[in-house]
Amino acid sequence: MLADQRHSPPRALPEPRTMTTLREQHEQLRHEITAGSRDAVTRQRRLGKRTARERLDLLLDEGSFTEIDMYRRHQAHGMKLGGNRPHTDGVIAGSGTIGGRRVFVYAQDFTVFGGSLGQAHAAKIHKVMDLALAAGAPLIGLNDSGGARIQEGVMSLDGYGGIFRRNVQASGVIPQISVILGPCAGGAAYSPALADFTFMVRDVARMYLTGPDVVEAVTGQRVSHEDLGGADVHGRRTGVATIVHDDEESCLGDVRYLVSLLPGNNLETPPSLPRRGAEADHRPWLAEIVPVEANQPYDMRAVVAELVDDGEFIEVHEHWAQNVVCVLARVDGEVVGVVGNQPLVLAGVLDVAASQKAARFVRFCDAFNIPLVTLVDVPGFLPGTDQEHAGIIRHGAKLLYAYCEATVPRIQVIVRKAYGGAYIVMDSRSIGSDLSLAWPTNEIAVMGAQGAVNVLFRKELSAAADPEVLRAELAGEYAEQLMHPYYAAERGLVDDVIDPAQTRAAVARGLAMLRNKRHAQPRRKHGNIPL
């Protein structure tokens, strides 16, 4: 035995470590991590989805991304995880720029563990959220995940809880944007629900708390992934999706545009562009858009397009609660939030969904120093037992609360009718609007002339030989005495009655006048909005 050992060839010594070999090994490892599994990437593309890194390339300025925790791996054992420890742990996190402005971002990688969230995965998201809050920069999450990593048990749930807590801490401090580019199921859905804006892509995005299999097992009801939680379901019915797109490229392009309108945090003002001469801009087409007759429909978005710079705006919740329009745009280079009743849908009445939609938008604008312009053409709140039993009082109070709480510059433009409590709620002078303007078509009253006459002169009308003639005569008198265009202006509730063609100029001058507005709020922990 000893003789054999004496005559065996000497064992080769390992090559000495040099900086060159270490750098080569380092470069090789980084390449393997960024390239990912070829089979997994192929499967991702077959699903009609880009990879997480391709999405980041579309979202961020070229060459601006700085990745953190690239080498992070899970530390779990057993349950088929111990020997499978890919780097990144299924999420790419870091920071980059959009239009030269700093943002923080994480992108879940479905090619690694199906993007499922475990302890290390969650820790990376926690880190980038903390950095975004500390730096005062927007946070963008690209969601494409199978949900909690079952093999890691309660640690996955703890990871989600940490995300939700940070969502709430950052709310109203930095803008938070969620983009759904694949599945987002179970507890994962609550982070997008807490974000300021949620984008979804048709056919690939789906979001629900319990999937179709669970729904069928519990209720016996069969439903597809798309019908249960697809982009159109959340864009049209639930209001969870703020903006819906047909493809990832246009979706991420719209996210870039949105970021260009937002401040980095609540201590900054939104980014401005050079003045556009709006204070002297005459728009005669505005006088043609709106019919004089109070019951004739028109598209309020056409009014918005004439009001804002270049007719460009981004509409939130375009397909949900369509009886109210909420957009972000610029007027004379300055970012504004515009809320307007939409006469094309339900005559522009306020209902439960419209109140929720507008209230959330108003509160977002107020949190991030975005002035508000409110275009009013509202016949009232939607009547009926369905609305009353659905809590229209409580939900309408949300919008009332949001406006009363807002301290940003606020301009009201009464385009046509403004009746009853809906007039008050749509940012009237009585609840704190800084400037109230009205067109000569304005009608401000407790209710329309016909309805008022039916209440005031019920006995006279029932006894009249020709009730319709008397009703028309009395309605004319009521409108002439109490609803003429200058009635509210004579009492100081409207600051100016303007030519519709001068609306853009008047709003621009009003915003310039209010630019340095300051308002001190009473000290309190927080109010108690009627949620």
> Tokens at residue 446, please?
């407790």
Give the pairing of strands 101-108 and 139-143.
Answer: parallel
- Note whether 59 and 142 are within 8 A (CB): yes
Residues belonging to the chain: 531
The conformational region for residue 246 under phi > 0 = left, psi -120 to 50 = alpha, else beta, is alpha
Long-range contacts of 230-237 (CB under 8 A, 24+ apart): 230/202, 230/203, 230/205, 230/206, 231/180, 231/200, 231/201, 231/202, 231/203, 231/205, 231/206, 232/202, 232/319, 234/198, 234/200, 234/207, 235/200, 235/317, 235/318, 235/319, 235/320, 236/319, 236/320, 237/320
Is-catalytic flag, 187? yes
> Tokens at residue 295, please?
């019951």
Residue of 123, 422, 445, 479 marked active site: 422
Residue of 159, 186, 420, 510 marked active site: 186
> Tokens at residue 60, please?
């961020």
Is-catalytic flag, 253? no
Is-catalytic flag, 422? yes
Q: Which are the contacts of 446, defined by CB distance < 8 A and separation ≥ 6?
A: 419, 420, 452
Burial letters for 181-219: b for 16+ Cβ neighbours within 10 Å, e otherwise?
bbbbbbbbbbbbebbbbbbbbeebbbbbeebbeebeeee
The residues with which 338 forms a beta bridge, in sequence order, are 327, 373
Matching residue, tokens 């060159």:
20
What does 329-366 look like in DSSP terms, one character per residue?
Answer: EEETTEEEEEEEE-TTTGGG-B-HHHHHHHHHHHHHHH
**End-to-end CA distance of the chain, in Å?**
85
Q: How far apart are CA 262 and CA 240, in angstroms?
A: 20
Q: How far apart are CA 400 and CA 473, in angstroms?
A: 36
Residue of 172, 187, 391, 451 marked active site: 187
Q: How far apart are CA 47 and CA 40, in angstroms?
A: 11
Is-catalytic flag, 380? no
Residue of 114, 253, 333, 421 marked active site: 421
Q: Shortest CA distance to 341 belongs to which of 393, 392, 399?
A: 399
Q: Shortest CA distance to 113 belongs to which of 93, 141, 84, 142?
A: 84
Question: How far is CA 125 from each of CA 119, 120, 139, rounded to the nearest angstrom?
Answer: 10, 9, 11
Q: How far apart are CA 407 and CA 433, in angstroms?
A: 9
Residues belonging to the active site: 186-187, 421-422
